[in-house]
Amino acid sequence: MLNHTEVSEFILLGLTDIQGLQYFFFIFFLLLYLTSVLGNGVIVTMVISQPRLHTPMYFFLGNLSCLDIFYSTVTVPKMLTGFLFGRQPISFDGCLAQLYFFHFLGSTEAVLLATMAYDRYVAICNPLCYTLVMNPRTCLLLAMASWFLGFAHAMMHSIMTSQLSFCGHNHIHHFFCDIKPLLNLACSSTSLYMTLLNVVTTSVALGPFILTVLSYLYIISFLFQKVRSQEGRWKPFSTCASHLTVVALLYIPLFFNYTPPSSSSSSRRDMQVSIMYCAITP
């Protein structure tokens, strides 16, 4: 009978072990992280302090900026430490906490982006009903629903991961504790977890994505059917440009990472793609 020793901590191998690249990446991602935190912090401060920004669009933008400050903070500081000091140990509980907050904030962002797309749809296609439909109570309920769905999705993953057994090899080929690298280290059966990863996680990402796409299809259709001038079409659509950019930066790597089945051969590719929504998108 094999004697398995339960793993009490993991070792994050990081993005690279090439020393020259580590220093370059440290400076690059530090500047990116500071830009993200300061930029989003300014947005939150402005939205709170300026009464004229107390509108649905800026309410959701403030939520998104607040979320992105924490989202990047979950993974980037640990990655920066790895660039300076090499492989980073992380306790089992610390790994679970990082996994939980990463998926909590990531799932919330996906739903929040769909909510913002719906807000733009109502503002552009039904401007006379906008204040009635997107009243303060509705905005608050939509924001709370976004945060709750993210909370529930992350809690499911954390509980399932805590039930897995880890023994022997404890090196995670990633710069943070994510689901797929952890599944590759598990000693116990991961078939149920893989089903949840491929069905539930895909649904949580796909549902908001479909709502976002539908909102923009309605907006584009409305602009081409109801608005005749080029300037008249561009002006309302220009308010959506930054939102569409964030949606693309989030969803393209997200589907690239989480919709295919997990495989150990794709771990390095997954880690490189993760940088996009961990550091660039916020």
Half-sphere exposure at residue 126, Cβ-oriented, CA atoms within 13 angstroms = 12
> Does 212 map to a domain?
yes
**Model confidence at 221: pLDDT above 90:** no
Domain harbouring 227, CATH code: 1.20.1070.10
pLDDT, residue 8, reads 75
pLDDT band per the 50, 70, 90 thresholds, residue 205: confident
pLDDT, residue 34, reads 95
> Does 113 map to a domain?
yes
What are the φ and ψ backbone dihedral angles of 162, each rounded to 5 degrees?
A: -65, -20
Cα separation values, 168 from 11, 95, 171, 262, Å: 12, 17, 9, 20
Look at 49-53, 74-78, 219-223 and tell me which has the smallest mean pLDDT.
219-223
> Does 169 map to a domain?
no
Compute the distance between CA of residue 92 and CA of residue 144 in angstroms, rounded to an integer. 30
> Does 83 map to a domain?
yes
Q: Which helix (H) or strand (E) holds 192?
A: helix 191-196
Task: Write out the residue range of the structural domain in which residue 196 sits.
Answer: 9-163+176-279
> Does 3 map to a domain?
no
Please write the tens of the pLDDT for every residue from 73-88: 999 999 898 888 877 8
pLDDT, residue 61, reads 93
> Does 101 map to a domain?
yes
Mean pLDDT value of segment 127-154: 93
> For the whole model, what pTM was predicted?
0.88
Domain total in the chain: 1
**Which is more confidently placed, 52 or 279?**
52
**Model confidence at 167: pLDDT above 90:** no
pLDDT band per the 50, 70, 90 thresholds, residue 5: low
> Does 156 map to a domain?
yes
Compute the distance between CA of residue 132 and CA of residue 127 in angstroms, rounded to an integer. 10
Place of tokens 């947005």: 43
pLDDT band per the 50, 70, 90 thresholds, residue 3: very low
Compute the distance between CA of residue 38 and CA of residue 86 in angstroms, rounded to an integer. 27
Nearest to 254 by CA among 217, 215, 202, 187: 202
**Model confidence at 258: pLDDT above 50:** yes
pLDDT band per the 50, 70, 90 thresholds, residue 267: low
> Does 171 map to a domain?
no
Look at 182-186, 228-232, 249-253 and tell me which has the smallest mean pLDDT.
228-232
